[in-house]
């Protein structure tokens, strides 16, 4: 009797193990990126919980004991929360290199554009939670699949002489809930 039941027991154990592994793998793929993004957002908004605020990196070049993706870039970052409305971003691009990237809550990059793709030197984007959200003309709509995420604007800085102009470019940018 035991020899007849053994293949069924082995099959049940194998199927159960495979199902458990698959479930664990899916939970890992779904939950871990969100947890990572939540940690990044928490660091970006700080103890004052400042969502939807432009935070401008002011230092140029390598930093001691800090890894940076590119020491020749100065970044503006925004941890966004669209639960109370859309976020409108306006300003001027940067001549040497400028890009805007939007990341949804699971770390997926959902939008990217650079200065070469924009007519003129100014930008006006409205980050919205849905297609139904109102957008003021001439703003270009960007849809975020999640209510929270991060947005990065990168400016390439050729030399330290450019830093004051980059700071002025950053300071002229606006981020506002609409």
- Residue 46 C-beta-side C-alpha neighbours within 13 Å: 8
Q: What Cα–Cα distance (Å) separates residue 138 from each residue in 124, 135, 171? A: 7, 8, 21
Tell which wins on pLDDT, 88 or 36: 88
Res 62: pLDDT: 67
Place of tokens 């959200």: 133
Give me the domains of the chain, ranges plus CATH numbers. 1-178 (2.60.40)
Range of lowest pLDDT (43-52, 93-102, 121-130) = 43-52
pLDDT band per the 50, 70, 90 thresholds, residue 178: confident
Coil, helix or strand at residue 127: strand
pLDDT of residue 124: 95
Closest C-alpha to 150, from 117, 99, 101, 93: 101
Three-state secondary-structure class, residue 119? coil
The pTM (predicted TM-score) of the whole model is 0.76
When the pLDDT of each residue in the chain is averaged and rounded to a whole number, the result is 83
User: In this predicted structure, what is the pLDDT of residue 69?
Assistant: 62
Tokens coding 46 = 């700080």
For the ranges 12-16, 65-69, 147-151, the maximum mean pLDDT occurs at 147-151
Confidence of residue 23 (pLDDT cuts 50, 70, 90): low
Q: What are the tens digits of pLDDT across the range 161-174?
A: 999 999 999 999 99
């Amino acid at each position: 009797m035991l020899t007849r039941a053994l293949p069924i027991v082995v099959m049940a154990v194998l199927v159960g193990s495979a199902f458990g592994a698959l479930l664990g793998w899916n939970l890992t793929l779904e939950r871990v990126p969100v947890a990572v993004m939540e940690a990044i957002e928490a660091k970006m908004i700080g103890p004052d919980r400042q969502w939807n605020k432009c935070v401008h990196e002011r230092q140029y070049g390598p930093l001691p004991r800090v890894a940076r993706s590119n020491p020749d870039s100065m970044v503006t970052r925004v941890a966004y929360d669209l639960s109370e409305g859309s976020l409108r971003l306006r300003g001027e691009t940067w001549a040497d290199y400028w890009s805007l990237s939007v990341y949804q809550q699971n770390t997926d990059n959902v939008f990217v554009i650079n200065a070469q793709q924009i007519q003129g030197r100014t930008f006006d984007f409205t980050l919205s939670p849905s297609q139904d959200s109102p957008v003021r003309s001439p703003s270009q709509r960007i849809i975020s699949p999640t209510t929270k995420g991060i947005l990065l604007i990168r400016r390439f800085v050729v030399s330290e002489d450019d830093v004051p102009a980059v700071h002025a470019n950053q300071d002229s940018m606006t981020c506002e809930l609409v």
